Amino acid sequence: MEEAGQKLKRARERLNLRYRDVEDASNQIATRHNNDEFVIALSRLSDIENKGTVPTIYRLYSLCTIYRLDINEVLDWYGVNVSTLAADSAAIELQRTHLIGFGANGFGETQMPLSLDPGIDLRRTTFLSRMIQRWGKLPLALLNTVDIKNFRYAFIGSEDWTMYPLIQPGSLVLIDDTHRKVVNTGWANEYERPIYFFEHRKGFACAWCTLQENQLVLQPHPASMCYPEIFSYPNDIDVLGQVVGVAMRLDQGKRRRNRT
């Protein structure tokens, strides 16, 4: 298997660039950014290509800029697959509720069902795994046609019981940041009542709420056994949007054991 340094060497040779050309170009980048970390000296470039030396993030940026390479692809040459960032993050539990900052840049691929049983009836509850006839890799760029520009994502902390059992700890929530106005009335039951995602001085929160003049009361689900919180609005808390989707696991046994 060809080493990453050799791939960079081939990219340089395809452009007919000498070591001195690369050094000069990197000096221009360093000048533009007023940072000498972008400079790639002749000896350093030789080590990167021939001795397996891993470039710093600054030198990697310079090399990708000079060679017109996709930095995500070059990172993959070094064993860093950016497309697995979200999946690796999901494997690490955090107790605090937080926003997810991974951008939908369309890089990489994802496993998707490419063919479903033609007899599937989407009106009925279905064990979908048995209805998928063929799986395959789909470039994420093809998902750009999905209208997600108004949505943000957040993770409910593994110890955040505020909206239990409607939203379990460890859930992934979809936030529509065009719906930031608090609505105090207009629902018939708890399932219709809007749930909002907030940022305050201590972090983030996901809850029902009531706005009373300049006080915003975060109201947990009664079954959660959590207490309401009161914030001065809008000085101490910001409404980031309304929760419009939830993905969560149903591992009740684990939750009962952890919930003390």
Per-residue pLDDT tens for 6-64?
A: 999 999 999 999 999 999 999 999 999 999 999 999 999 999 999 999 999 999 999 99
216's enclosing H/E stretch is strand 215-219
The rounded distance, in Å, linking the Cα atoms of 61 and 232 is 44
Closest CA to 204 of 165, 250, 152: 152
pTM here is 0.63
User: Residue 145: which pLDDT band, with cuts at 50, 70 and 90?
Assistant: very low
238's enclosing H/E stretch is strand 237-247
Mean pLDDT of the chain: 83
The rounded distance, in Å, linking the Cα atoms of 183 and 221 is 17
pLDDT in tens, 192-250: 999 999 999 888 999 999 999 899 999 999 999 999 999 999 999 999 999 998 887 76
Structural domains of the chain in order of their starting residue, each with its CATH number: 4-77 (1.10.260.40), 106-146 (no CATH), 151-258 (2.10.109.10)
Is the link from the previous residue into 165 a cis peptide, with omega within 30 of 0? yes
